[in-house]
Chains A and B, each alone.
Chain A
């Protein structure tokens, strides 16, 4: 039996700006240890892409705010493009118990590498011991043509 082909779908020349998904890369990294003494605290994770990408789209997953203060409406099992994962910090001597710290996620492309950053801005100098969390990422590597 002959296979029917819709010839209108064959309009895939360079002027059409189409894109296709080459591969989805998934992985994770941990935010742990101690917080900074104040100011900007950035944790990074590099992902080798195997090629210099045309276009990336990245979504993240990790714990939402569990402090009870309702600082973030996102459920912990939901993936997001822009937002934060929340890490609880403790320093009993300074009066901090399960203090919520927001680590905002972002990413940059350096040649064939994606550099994922999780950044917290802390406005007090007491150092907190962090309860480790795992941050998950999904990177879609597109070719544009």
Chain B
């Protein structure tokens, strides 16, 4: 074992997933946007790092945040997939699912919020 790797204390700025990490099925009607807030309560003026992803095609394939629309370019075809956006503040992560397709969709959405102990410059 490389003992130089055993520098696992808070002064070494390790990352770990916050307990608010999770998953949810988001449901959006045709042409509608639905949002979901995840309060993280990490504290202070922290803006935590985060990752979001979704099975936008509902086919067990997970896309990182988004998938480009099919039919992009000539405007003659409608978008095939919903679009996931996400943003974070000092108090909560917001997931926003926009459904431009012709029918209601249920999309599994995943998020990770990191509690980190970094040094800021």
Contacts and interface: CB of A to CB of B under 8 A. Distances in A.
Contacts, number: 80
A12 interface: yes
Contacts of A81: 50, 65, 86
A interface, size bucket: 20 to 34
Contact of B87 (A25, A26, A79): A79
B65 A73 contact: no
A25 B108 CA distance: 33
A44 interface: no
Interface string B82-113: 00011111000010100000000000000000
Nearest to A10: B6
A77 B118 CA distance: 22
Interface of A: 9-10, 12-14, 19-26, 57, 59, 61, 73-75, 77-83, 138, 140, 142, 145
